[in-house]
Amino acid sequence: MDVISVIRTKRDKGELSPEQIDWVIDAYTRGAVADEQMSALAMAILLNGMNRAEIARWTAAMIASGERMEFSSLSRPTADKHSTGGVGDKITLPLAPLVAACGAAVPQLSGRGLGHTGGTLDKLESIPGWRALLSNEEMLHVLDTTGAVICAAGDGLAPADKKLYALRDVTGTVEAIPLIASSIMSKKIAEGTGSLVLDVKVGTGAFMKNIEDARELASTMVGLGTDSGVKTVALLTDMSTPLGLTAGNALEVRESVEVLAGGGPADVVELTIALAREMLEAAGIKDADPAKALADGSAMDHWRRMIAAQGGDPDAALPVAREQHVVTAPSSGVLTRLDAYDIGIAAWRLGAGRARKEDPVQAGAGVEIHAKPGDTVTAGQPLVTLHTDTPEKFDYALGSLDGAWDIAPAGTAFTPNPIVLDRIA
């Protein structure tokens, strides 16, 4: 094998053979294929695509580059969830303990935020003492004793994907659906879960801006999971408006605890329960009611045990930003649009997110939302509050909010988008 022939095959719209795929992934992982050569191949894949057989083999080769986990020693079935990322998407936080309270084990390997989308690990690290990095043995122990674990993927899990993901991020090839699907599914299949529910976001604040692209991505990932023996289902969910009333690390933890306490924003509760029902069905658990587990406190009990098992103090005060700036409604009427992307960019600029993986984040930074589309607002009423430790960032964040909302005359009829747009299985 040689990498030039592999690049030329895909450049000329050919189908990569299983042997070519196995060789190029292994050689790139070992360093025998240079970054610029893999960049050329990734661009060829972006432009010319891959068929299902190619994507499946590419995914299998990335899985084979590292270790595979397994949870056969657990007494309960495993179910995991993956979100393609959005603004205010704190769903994993209440979802994992909720599903655990209903009888499944949830091995949730999560990531960090990059750009306008938040990261689950960054959010949880705002809890004093909480640890994202666990050994495989620690992960299994937390999962066995509490029913759920949320942690970072170990270095041994799909190392080929770690290299390729970083390369795609700096070469304009992030958008390639075959590479997105194989990146997500190689880690999830290697993780060893028995079933998987995918939350594929659609809208301005999501990676997939239109439902056709989201449906293609979801169908590809469901096919990969099914072909690998993992029962997989996908929900397409709306991300034109931020989820809940917060975007930021500690702000979203606080809101997640409100959901676990039986309150919280209606959209967060609705999506959490919808995903919990899908996970429980995929795991073969038929008689559990996630809405009841939220109401009776059992989900909160599992949350507290899970946080404590990873070194966190569930009773500790969460960080609060030192400075706040209130943005008010410019006119009276009905709020008809609140753009998720613009809110996410504002939170990022305030310090809640990062431009590079190495950048630090502020635990207390972010955006607090006081009105959602459909609400009647009055001129001068608070629309959002900006939070940061560095007040010189306010002007930078305010620049992203220019045009972030629409206010129509009072009495204007408004119909919100449904949270769940489609289901693919």
- State the pLDDT at residue 155: 83
| Whether residue 292 is found in the same domain as residue 327 | no
Structural domain includes residue 413: no
| Whether residue 221 is found in the same domain as residue 292 | yes
- Find the domain containing 40 and state its range: 3-49
Tell me the C-alpha to C-alpha distance, in Å, between residue 238 and each of 205, 215, 256. Answer: 9, 13, 19
| Whether residue 208 is found in the same domain as residue 302 | yes
| Whether residue 305 is found in the same domain as residue 355 | no
Out of 161, 199, 267, 342, pick the active-site residue. Answer: 161
- State the pLDDT at residue 308: 98
Structural domain includes residue 315: no
Which residues have C-beta within 8 Å of that of residue 205, sequence separation ≥ 6?
86, 87, 116, 117, 239, 240, 241, 242, 339, 340, 341, 343, 344
- State the pLDDT at residue 355: 76
Structural domain includes residue 188: yes
Out of 83, 126, 182, 183, pick the active-site residue. Answer: 183
Indicate the pTM of the whole model: 0.94
Out of 57, 187, 302, 305, pick the active-site residue. Answer: 187
- State the pLDDT at residue 413: 94
Structural domain includes residue 39: yes
Tell me the C-alpha to C-alpha distance, in Å, between residue 295 and each of 80, 292, 361. Answer: 22, 5, 33
First to last CA, the chain: 37
Q: How far apart are CA 17 and CA 9, in angstroms?
A: 9
- 8-state DSSP, 349: I
Out of 82, 90, 162, 302, pick the active-site residue. Answer: 82
**Catalytic annotation present for 370:** no
Per DSSP, the three-state class of 97 is helix
Q: How far apart are CA 129 and CA 400, in angstroms?
A: 33
Structural domain includes residue 68: no
- State the pLDDT at residue 397: 97
Q: Are 312 and 304 in contact, with CB atoms under 8 Å apart? A: no
Q: Are 33 and 21 in contact, with CB atoms under 8 Å apart? A: no
Structural domain includes residue 316: no
**Catalytic annotation present for 209:** no
Q: How far apart are CA 374 and CA 412, in angstroms?
A: 9
| Whether residue 44 is found in the same domain as residue 86 | no
List the pLDDT tens digit at each of the 425 positions of the chain.
899 999 999 999 999 999 999 999 999 999 999 999 999 999 999 999 999 999 999 999 999 999 999 898 999 999 999 999 999 999 999 999 999 999 999 999 998 887 788 899 999 999 999 999 999 999 999 999 999 999 998 889 999 998 998 898 788 898 899 999 999 999 999 999 999 999 999 999 998 999 999 999 999 999 999 999 999 999 999 999 999 999 999 999 999 999 999 999 999 999 999 999 999 999 999 999 999 999 999 999 999 999 999 999 999 999 999 999 999 999 999 999 999 999 999 999 999 988 777 788 999 999 999 999 999 999 999 999 999 999 999 999 999 999 999 999 999 999 999 999 999 99
**Catalytic annotation present for 168:** yes
| Whether residue 251 is found in the same domain as residue 204 | yes
| Whether residue 331 is found in the same domain as residue 299 | no
Q: Are 20 and 6 in contact, with CB atoms under 8 Å apart? A: yes
**Catalytic annotation present for 183:** yes
The neighbouring-strand residues paired with 151 are 109
- Helices 18-30 and 52-64 cross at an angle (nearest 10°) of 30
| Whether residue 268 is found in the same domain as residue 206 | yes
- State the pLDDT at residue 172: 87
- State the pLDDT at residue 116: 84
Q: In what order do the strands lie in the sheet with 382-388?
A: 246-248, 366-369, 382-388, 323-328
Structural domain includes residue 220: yes
Out of 81, 162, 163, 168, pick the active-site residue. Answer: 168
| Whether residue 286 is found in the same domain as residue 242 | yes
- State the pLDDT at residue 219: 97
| Whether residue 210 is found in the same domain as residue 267 | yes
Virtual CA dihedral for 261, 386, 82, 111, nearest 10 degrees? -110
